[in-house]
Structure 1
Amino acid sequence: MLHRVVITGIGALTPVGNDIPTFWENVVAGRSGAATITHFDASLFRTHFAAELKNYAASQFLSHADIKRTDPFTQYALIASDQAIKDSGFDLSQMDPFDVGVIWGSGQGGMETFEQQVTEYVQGTGQPRFSPFFVPKLIVNMASGMISIRNGYMGINYTTVSACATSNTAIMDAFNYIRLGKAKIIITGGSEAPITPASFGGFSALKAMSTHNDDPVAASRPFDVHRDGFVMAEGAGALVLEEYEHAVKRGATIYGEITGAAMTADAYHMTATHPEGLGAAKAMQLALDEAGLTIADVDYLNTHATSTPLGDISEIKAVAKLTGPDKTKLKISATKSITGHLLGAAGAIEAIICLLSMRDNVIPPTINTTELDPEIPKNLSIVLQETIPFDVRTTMSNTFGFGGHNGTVIFQKVS
């Protein structure tokens, strides 16, 4: 027997808000999180801006001991998961700790730790000067481990890595473990702390990021004919997934239900999506099939659309393969235009947007886009500039990653 899986808690630490209320207010208002980089001097790179956390200090949320022994990507994970766990309100003392697990995601892990420690060693005397925390802070699974240690969760625990599809991978893994009866609750999501010279410089060298240095706020413009790359962002999103009957029994608030999820591979290129969106279209179709739906049933699609010339159009071609040429009620937006691209954490943040869209019956906008690419079919409705009211009962979230990873998750209101 397969169990139903619902979301009972959410948390966010993002460039447009360090908690859910602030984050959602700014998403709905269409306020960009992009600005000139403050973490380091980026003047030697093609791009000089990113979407950094604002009014943030780790000490506001974590103890000195936790900060000392963790990389920022783990700190972000702890902060967002603390919010989601509190929001969910489940009582571990009333449960078997082996029934609660953590499946987390991060594309890069402890990049800041790796960069700092190696730089200090190379610039030193040649004698080993690495911190004993170097490896524990660096390894990508430490976020899931620390969430478990912090809260006493003794169930399934591991980390997924599938580049920018990472969070959706983590979410669908958590979904599958719960529906198979292997856990009652799983904390899932993703975190990323990529705004460092090495990570940022690498993406700059790939020419993947926008170079609108004169106007960072307007740089991310998905689907616009003048788009020129993504805006890197940092932060974390967390969700508490729970077996439906368990949630109902304890009177939990339910944000929505996961009814379908799927992954495919493009098998095409290291960094480019398939130009015709073949893998993306199949992932969406498989997720719809699992949910017992068609694309005609979906009210809102939160696209992966990062504002790259090739990626945005390949995703739209994938969507068009499902919708066909007929007019559809489907509303589409690309909220990375607001939040920036959180890489491995993007899917978690966009899952939360989908859930809040259903809660409040609104579609958040794609900002900055003023001239749609002529390749976009006229029957597709992309929400631009301002949030609109809409009866949202079914949402779909796409994430795609370097290596050809495609992940789609479907959320529905619980009836």
Structure 2
Amino acid sequence: MGRSDTAVAVTGMGMVTPAGADERTFWEGLCAGVSLARRCEQLAGLPVDFACPVAGIDLDEAVGGRSVWRMARFVKMALVAARAAVADAGLAPERWDGGRVGVVLGVGVGGVAVLTDNARRLDVDGPEAVSPLLVPMMMPNAAAGEVAIALRAHGPSLAPATACASGATAIALAGDLLTSGRCDVVVAGGAEAVVTPLVVSAFAGMGALSLRTADPAGASRPFAADRDGFVIGEGAAALVLERAPDAYARGRRPRALLAGTGSGTDAHHPTAPSPDGAGARRAVEAALREAGWAAREVDHINAHGTSTRLNDTMETGLISGMFPHRPTVTAPKGVLGHTLAAGGAIEAAATVLTLEHGVVPPVANLESPPDGFDLDCVVKEPRTQEVRRALSHSFGFGGHNVVLAFQRADGDGPVPGREGPGAGRGAGSAPVS
């Protein structure tokens, strides 16, 4: 069932990012256009010793309660983001019909720090030293499970793993759960926390990371001619999605509309994107088709923009070829680094904020575009622009390509679109807390 059958609304957002763990500081950090990469103590001595870690928040304190001891870092971030999103949506878990509430949280790796710590314990002290909580702490679906427990959500709980497209995949699946009538509310997003010696060494060994150790803040430079790899980051973001008529029925105006989604697979290489961008193009075309837009109607693109040579070359050709009218382009990874599975969700939130504020954040460190460059990248400072329709690109290892189409929610009344199955029931008609 397409998005034209039932308008899907974003009614709440929450995030934990290198730029801040609340919406205001996150948005200010993005609009400042300055990379947040810095040297990290846990990476000292490695060929790449810098990253974009989450800072400015005590996750244990933010999560609170006795259950925090059983959670890996990525789970804590997911839970903080999800709670903030639900509060932002004006919903109260103790008052909704949990059977109509779903949770979809994309995670690429899971609790790798917990795994490596227990592997050391096994080597040094034997099997008795391995924590009985290792499995539930490291499994990627732990974030979806813990969020469902905390929010009393008894509907579908899913943990899609499409590498760096996981957060976007989660939002697309959430839209499907709503338009099919299986849920009235879905909390969707992504989380990742793998700023660890093992993972950083692996990415560095495969040549994916920037080697600008003398200038960490200048290392992440999407689309720049002299880019040499990405900077690893961490974070989480969650969006609350509902059918728009349900949101209006409980007195909540959407922050934006999820107008369409699209996916396409390269089937080309485990890590390298297809040079012709065919899989990504299929995802863009599917999102446009579901949204009912012509390519020329897109005002803005939040690019995947990893700062790697292969991705940025492919994406430059994709955007310039499909959008000759040159919509504005931004790439948050210049500021935030590459937050992997969380990236699609964090950048979806950034796209919603661009629609709301009419402001496009700049791409950090973009000063010398490559030959043949034909994108209208926003650089140096934010650009004020009326943005009504925007795309958010997410591409992942394994050839996964996901594109989300967001539309500005105009007016004070219900948006067009007939109510789908289950509309007006359960959580969709829950009172505002």
TM value normalised by structure 2: 0.92
Q: Deviations over 1:212-242 (max 9, x none)?
A: 1111111111111100000100110110011
Distance change >3 Å, CA 92–CA 60, structure 1 → 2? closer
Q: Find the counterpart in structure 2 of residue 322 from structure 1.
A: 322
- 1:113 and 1:93 mapped to 2: Cα distance? 32
**Is 1:261–2:256 an aligned residue pair?**
no
- Give the aligned residue type for 1:382: C
- 1:216 and 1:246 mapped to 2: Cα distance? 46
Displacement after TM superposition at 1:320 (Å): 2.5
Distance change >3 Å, CA 127–CA 177, structure 1 → 2? closer
- Give the aligned residue type for 1:42: A
Q: Which of 7, 12, 15 matches 1:9?
A: 12
Q: Which runs of 4+ in 1 moved over 6 A?
A: none
Where do 1:158-169 residues align within 5 Å? 158-169=158-169
**Is 1:354–2:351 an aligned residue pair?**
yes
Percent identity over paired residues:
35
2:108–2:166 CA contact under 8 A, matched in 1: yes
Q: Find the counterpart in structure 2 of residue 128 from structure 1.
A: 128
**Is 1:200–2:195 an aligned residue pair?**
no
Q: Find the counterpart in structure 2 of residue 90 from structure 1.
A: 91
- 2:401 and 2:176 mapped to 1: Cα distance? 17
Q: Deviations over 1:338-369 (max 9, x none)?
A: 11110000001000100000100011111101
- Give the aligned residue type for 2:381: E
- 2:117 and 2:25 mapped to 1: Cα distance? 32
Q: Find the counterpart in structure 1 of residue 364 from structure 2.
A: 367
Displacement after TM superposition at 1:202 (Å): 0.8
1:103–1:174 CA contact under 8 A, matched in 2: yes
Displacement after TM superposition at 1:404 (Å): 0.5
Q: Which of 369, 393, 400 matches 1:398?
A: 393
Q: Which of 403, 406, 415 matches 1:411?
A: 406
Q: Deviations over 1:17-59 (max 9, x none)?
A: 1111111111111132110013x1432x321100011123223
Displacement after TM superposition at 1:132 (Å): 1.5
Distance change >3 Å, CA 223–CA 329, structure 1 → 2? closer
Displacement after TM superposition at 1:96 (Å): 1.9
Q: Find the counterpart in structure 2 of residue 176 from structure 1.
A: 176
Q: Find the counterpart in structure 2 of residue 280 from structure 1.
A: 280
- Flag structure 2 segments of 5+ consecutive residues without an equivalent: 411-433
1:100–1:185 CA contact under 8 A, matched in 2: yes
- 1:248 and 1:329 mapped to 2: Cα distance? 34
Aligned to 2:129, what secondary structure does the other structure show?
Answer: coil
Aligned to 2:258, what secondary structure does the other structure show?
Answer: strand
Q: Find the counterpart in structure 1 of residue 308 from structure 2.
A: 308
- 1:89 and 1:121 mapped to 2: Cα distance? 46
**Is 1:341–2:338 an aligned residue pair?**
yes
2:16–2:22 CA contact under 8 A, matched in 1: yes
Q: Find the counterpart in structure 2 of residue 388 from structure 1.
A: 383
Q: Find the counterpart in structure 1 of residue 114 from structure 2.
A: 113
- Give the aligned residue type for 1:283: A
Displacement after TM superposition at 1:253 (Å): 3.6
- Give the aligned residue type for 1:118: A
Displacement after TM superposition at 1:383 (Å): 1.0
- Give the aligned residue type for 1:52: P
Aligned to 2:355, what secondary structure does the other structure show?
Answer: helix
Displacement after TM superposition at 1:184 (Å): 0.6
1:162–1:401 CA contact under 8 A, matched in 2: yes
Displacement after TM superposition at 1:93 (Å): 4.6
2:362–2:382 CA contact under 8 A, matched in 1: yes
Displacement after TM superposition at 1:247 (Å): 0.4
- 1:294 and 1:3 mapped to 2: Cα distance? 20
**Is 1:76–2:72 an aligned residue pair?**
no
Q: Deviations over 1:247-282 (max 9, x none)?
A: 001111411001110111111111101111111111
TM value normalised by structure 1: 0.96
1:88–1:253 CA contact under 8 A, matched in 2: no
Q: Find the counterpart in structure 1 of residue 221 from structure 2.
A: 221
Aligned to 1:123, what secondary structure does the other structure show?
Answer: helix
Q: Deviations over 1:293-339 (max 9, x none)?
A: 1221111100001000111010111122312xx4x151111111011
Q: Find the counterpart in structure 1 of residue 428 from structure 2.
A: none
* The 10-residue stretch of structure 1 (1-10 or 202-211) with the greater mean CA deviation from structure 2: 1-10
Q: Deviations over 1:50-85 (max 9, x none)?
A: 001112322330225222101101011001111111
Aligned to 1:408, what secondary structure does the other structure show?
Answer: strand
2:94–2:152 CA contact under 8 A, matched in 1: no
Displacement after TM superposition at 1:91 (Å): 3.2
1:16–1:31 CA contact under 8 A, matched in 2: no
Displacement after TM superposition at 1:286 (Å): 1.1
- Flag structure 1 segments of 5+ consecutive residues without an equivalent: none
- Give the aligned residue type for 2:265: A
1:177–1:183 CA contact under 8 A, matched in 2: yes
- Give the aligned residue type for 1:33: L
